[in-house]
Each structure stands twice: as structure tokens, then as C-alpha cells.
Amino acid sequence: MNPLEILLTDSLLRTGHVNNACIINKNLNGKLIASTNGFALSNDQVDSIIASFKTPSSVRENDFYFSGRKFECIRADKEAIYAKHGKSGVVLMQTDQLIVLATYNEHMFPAVAVESVEKLCHYFKEKGK
């Protein structure tokens, strides 16, 4: 495990309210630089995520598509995208260089997932990432 994967595990998965997570580096053409065990995104998914932050109004109007499912948009702006599908959901936040994505399922609390991702992104912003 690289240090960023350990950070994802310690700061997100260990909360018990995130089941998968990854970090995308926007400055490296959307390279996936860390992910939790067994979680992967296709290049098309990464491109779609990056594009979603460029046009958040479109996400608000048309919802968010991830892993072949339509997620109802809860929040979409230049900083964050929150979306849900039933009782599961996805939380995305970005810094200048990175996008952190986390998913939660029906047995988890969305608010804890959001708070955990926000704290991690705040940490990255403090570090100039």
C-alpha cells in the first residue's frame, strides 16, 4: 500500500461509513493515484468525474452517473458533488490538484461519509495539494 492508500483507509474506511474511495490527480491527466483495496475506475469514469466539476450546473440538472447507475444530485458546485441512489451514494470533493471520491451504502450514514471526505480534502488543501 502506498501512503495515500493508507490515508484513505485510515481517514475514510475506518469510519465505518465509507465502503470505497479513491484519489484522482487532475494535474496528471486524471491519473488514479490511490484507491482502497479492489476499487478501480475506468478512464471514462475518471474523465466523466473531472468533466462534472467543470459543469456542476449540468450535474444538478441531469443528475450524476456513476458505475452504470443514475445518482440523484444533492449538491453540485466547483468544490463538491454529493449524489445518492436509493440509500447508497457517492461523495466527491476537489482541491486544486486532487479529487477525492468516496462511496457509502445503505448501512452507512451519509453525513459521516461527507464529513470524513471534507476533513481529508481540508488536510490536502493545508498541504497545498
Pairing of strands 80-85, 69-76: antiparallel
Q: Does 14 have pLDDT greater than 80? A: yes
Strand partners, 72: 84
What is the tally of structural domains in the chain? Answer: 1
Angle between helices 110-126 and 3-11 (to 10 degrees): 140
Location of C-alpha cell 470505497? 20
Q: Report how far Cα 52 is from the mean position of its chain's Cα atoms.
A: 12
Selection from 119, 118, 110 nearest residue 17 by Cα: 110
Residue 106: helix, strand or coil by DSSP? coil
Please give the backbone phi and psi of residue 21, each rounded to the nearest 5 degrees, phi first: -160, 160
Model pLDDT, residue 16:
97
Domain of residue 50: give its range: 3-126
Give the pLDDT confidence of 56-83 residue by residue, as tens digits. 999 999 999 998 899 999 999 999 999 9
Per-residue pLDDT band at 27 (split at 50, 70, 90): confident
Q: State pTM to two decimals.
A: 0.95
Task: Find the CATH number of the domain harbouring 38.
Answer: 3.30.450.30
How many beta carbons lie within 10 A of that of residue 108, not counting itself? Answer: 18
